């Protein structure tokens, strides 16, 4: 059970301004629709104004322009969504792991594990591994030879990190993620594929979150790099020698093929796909399900997916996609004739 806080206490820690009863007690966050006594909700999008009017939340976080839309106790601030995130962090602290190495974990000789770190049952930690203060390695994780993990990082159960990788401080890595598996390096030799040893590593900065079943391949020769503050959702595939710039967020099911560089402060929608060897500028937004097939030099929002339709309409139109060039030629021909007529007419 989180400790309750008054609105006044919340504002003294996070800033913002209370309107209404500052002694209102808050124990937990909730949605506008379902929050009740001792719960705080938020309005970040004016679209949900009607829900604000109907809410039974004990208090609401909102922006100055929405201040008068409710008479409930409220906190007025500049960025209600971020403020709400911080309130929830206060009420739901991540907690510090109980230190200790489970008797059923397998620790190789020659590791450096901080006394405040924790390693759960069934985890295997190979030689030369370094685990920082308060690192928490979940049940059944595997940490390969020589890998280093920074302070306060948490690996949920069943994460695999291959040898020779580096993960910074405060990482959160969800179950099933695989970091440092071989990149897809193969060369064709007389009709057979031969393997190119993948001798690079993976270097992950501070404050990175990695979703469940996401894979980040090690570099072919040099390292694959994920910079500070990058947030990766589930089931993302990052190919070898990719670099993801700091503070870029990538939604689920995205694939980034080898050697592509994505800039800083980018936002990548779910299931977007990047072919290899591209360079994407800082501040680029890619819409969900877009195939990024060439480099992007300018910030902005880019999109490319086939619009959904009822199946019969789609089928009728799709055949003409394959005749677009021809259709364009016919229009040009018509234009010539009309122009000719005019000139002759």
User: Can you tell me the distance from the alpha carbon of 304 to that of 336, in angstroms, rounded to the nearest whole number?
Assistant: 32
Instruction: Decide: is 145 part of the binding site for its own copies (CB under 8 A).
Output: no
Piece in contact with its own copies (CB under 8 A), picked from 18-26, 51-59, 63-71, 158-166 = 158-166
Instruction: Decide: is 8 part of the binding site for its own copies (CB under 8 A).
Output: no
Which entry of 142, 163, 174, 240 is annotated as an active-site residue?
Answer: 240
Q: Which residues contact 265 (CB under 8 A, 6 or more apart)?
A: 245, 246, 247, 248, 282, 283
240 among known catalytic residues: yes
Instruction: Tell me the C-alpha to C-alpha distance, in Å, between residue 124 and each of 98, 104, 235, 240.
Output: 19, 9, 24, 25
Piece in contact with its own copies (CB under 8 A), picked from 16-24, 57-65, 67-75, 324-332 = 324-332
CB distance 101 to 120 below 8 Å: no
Helices 7-14, 80-91: inter-axial angle, 10-degree rounding? 110
| The binder of its own copies chosen from 54, 67, 291, 297 (CB under 8 A) | 291
Q: How far is CA 339 from the centre of its chain?
A: 55
Least Å from the CB of residue 16 to its own copies: 13
| The binder of its own copies chosen from 72, 142, 166, 243 (CB under 8 A) | 142
| The binder of its own copies chosen from 30, 146, 150, 201 (CB under 8 A) | 30
Least Å from the CB of residue 110 to its own copies: 16
Residue 313: enclosing H or E segment and its boundaries? helix 311-321
Q: Pick the closer one to its own copies by CB: 64 or 318.
A: 318
Closest-CA residue to 7 (of 49, 38, 36, 52): 38
**Site residues (CB under 8 A) for its own copies, limited to 80-139:** 81-82, 84-86, 88-89, 91-92, 94, 102, 104, 106, 120-122, 124, 138-139
Q: Pick the closer one to its own copies by CB: 23 or 95.
A: 95
Instruction: Decide: is 233 part of the binding site for its own copies (CB under 8 A).
Output: yes
Q: Pick the closer one to its own copies by CB: 39 or 71.
A: 39
CB distance 66 to 50 below 8 Å: no
């Amino acid at each position: 059970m989180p400790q309750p806080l008054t609105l006044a206490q919340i504002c003294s820690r996070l800033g913002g301004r209370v309107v209404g009863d500052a002694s209102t007690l808050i124990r937990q966050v909730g949605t506008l629709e379902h929050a009740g006594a001792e719960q705080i909700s938020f309005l970040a999008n004016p679209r949900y104004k009607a829900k604000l009017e109907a809410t039974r939340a004990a208090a609401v976080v909102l922006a100055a322009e929405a201040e008068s839309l409710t008479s409930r106790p409220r906190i007025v601030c500049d960025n209600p969504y971020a403020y709400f995130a911080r309130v929830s962090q206060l009420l739901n602290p991540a907690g510090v792991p109980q230190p200790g190495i489970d008797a059923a974990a397998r620790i190789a000789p020659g590791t450096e594990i901080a006394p405040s770190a924790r390693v759960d049952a069934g985890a295997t930690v190979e030689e030369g591994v370094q685990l920082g203060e308060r690192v928490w390695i979940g049940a059944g994780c595997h940490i390969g030879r020589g890998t280093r993990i920074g302070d306060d990082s948490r690996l949920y159960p069943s994460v695999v990190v291959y040898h020779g990788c580096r993960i910074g401080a405060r990482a959160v890595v969800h179950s099933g993620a695989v970091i440092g598996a071989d990149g897809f390096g193969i060369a064709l030799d007389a009709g057979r594929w031969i393997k190119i040893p993948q001798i690079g590593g993976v270097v992950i900065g501070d404050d990175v979150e990695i979703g469940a079943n996401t894979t980040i391949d090690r570099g072919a020769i040099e390292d694959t790099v994920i910079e500070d503050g990058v947030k990766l959702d589930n089931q993302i595939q990052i190919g070898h020698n990719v670099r993801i710039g700091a503070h870029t967020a990538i939604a689920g099911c995205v694939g980034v093929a080898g050697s592509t560089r994505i800039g800083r402060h980018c936002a990548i929608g779910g299931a977007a796909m990047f072919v290899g060897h591209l360079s994407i500028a800082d501040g680029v937004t890619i819409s969900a399900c877009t195939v990024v097939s060439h480099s992007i030099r300018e910030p902005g929002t880019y999109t490319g997916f086939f619009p959904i339709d009822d199946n019969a309409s789609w089928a009728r139109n799709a055949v003409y996609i394959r005749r677009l060039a021809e259709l364009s030629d016919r229009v040009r021909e018509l234009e010539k004739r009309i122009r000719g007529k005019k000139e002759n007419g």
